[in-house]
């Protein structure tokens, strides 16, 4: 792939879609694996973040197995490994040696945790779950109420996600509540990617306002919430933009 591990560095990117499960483990029930669709994301929404990584001098490697869409970004240091080079060994090797992994919720993203690598999770599922691991950072998806067209407050989602039956790990439950999920925008993904670099390089200096917003988000978790002990921060610009949802 043209990468020299003695001098080059790379970021792994990943976006979950329905292709893998549909092709490798066809579901016998009506609707198939659609109840997992809230974890899906569009790999091509990462374009601005990819360009930023390139501007910092890195390579970008898109991983995945049986992916739905090709990565529409042509550059010698952008490698659509999932469609061009994929093999079992490299699926494990790449997350083990990356600078960090930028990806949506899915098994491929969890490999970063296995190897104690930083993980930047975007388009994270709603309902109060949070990614765990070393030096993590994330952006949750937003939920819009179909009745009034407004975004659902994050605290409301935390409560409903904790008490839901079936839980918010099922897309159909989210839809039953009348919510429509919205993915993170390319601009939001770019902002949190910049923050990730600053944090990893030791240049992250949040303002008092940003610190307060992180604490306000943490305070939304009920004491008995199953993710209350996970302190992974949310992207600061995301919280500044959507402070009214706190």
Position 3 in a domain: no
Position 2 in a domain: no
> What residues have CB less than 8 Å from 87, skipping those under 6 apart?
none
Helix (H) or strand (E) holding 144: strand 142-145
**What is residue 168's predicted lDDT score, i.e. its pLDDT?**
53
Position 199 in a domain: yes
Position 120 in a domain: yes
Tokens for 182, please give them: 């919205």
Position 80 in a domain: yes
Position 4 in a domain: no
- pLDDT tens readout for residues 2-25: 999 999 999 999 987 665 655 666
Main-chain phi, psi angles of 217, to 5 degrees: -65, -45
Tokens for 156, please give them: 């409301």
The chain-wide mean pLDDT, for the chain, equals: 86
- pLDDT tens readout for residues 99-117: 999 998 777 888 999 999 9
**What is residue 145's predicted lDDT score, i.e. its pLDDT?**
93
- Domain count for the chain, please give it: 1
* Domain range enclosing 14: 10-245
Mean pLDDT of 218-235: 80
Q: Which of 40-54, 67-81, 156-170, 228-242 has the lowest mean pLDDT?
A: 156-170
């Amino acid at each position: 792939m043209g990468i020299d591990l003695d001098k080059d560095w790379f970021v792994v990117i990943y976006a979950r879609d329905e292709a893998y499960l549909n092709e490798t483990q066809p579901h016998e029930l009506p609707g198939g694996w659609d109840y997992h669709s809230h974890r899906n994301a569009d790999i091509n929404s990462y374009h601005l973040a990819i360009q930023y990584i390139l501007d910092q001098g890195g390579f970008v490697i898109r991983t995945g197995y049986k992916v739905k869409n090709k990565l529409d970004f042509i550059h010698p240091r952008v490698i659509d490994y999932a469609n061009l080079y994929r093999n079992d060994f490299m699926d494990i090797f790449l997350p083990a040696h990356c600078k960090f992994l930028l990806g949506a919720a899915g098994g491929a993203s969890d490999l970063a945790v296995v190897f104690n690598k930083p993980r930047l999770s975007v388009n994270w599922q709603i309902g109060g779950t949070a990614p765990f691991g070393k030096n993590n950072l994330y952006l949750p998806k937003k939920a819009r109420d179909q009745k009034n067209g407004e975004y659902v407050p994050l605290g409301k989602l935390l409560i409903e996600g904790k008490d839901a039956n079936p839980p918010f790990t099922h897309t159909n439950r989210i839809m039953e509540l009348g919510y429509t999920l919205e993915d993170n925008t390319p601009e939001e993904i770019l902002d949190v990617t910049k923050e990730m670099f600053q944090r990893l390089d030791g240049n992250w200096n949040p303002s008092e306002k940003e610190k307060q917003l992180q604490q306000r988000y943490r305070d939304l978790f009920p004491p008995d919430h199953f993710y209350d002990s996970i302190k992974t921060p949310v992207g600061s610009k995301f919280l500044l933009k959507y402070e009214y949802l706190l």
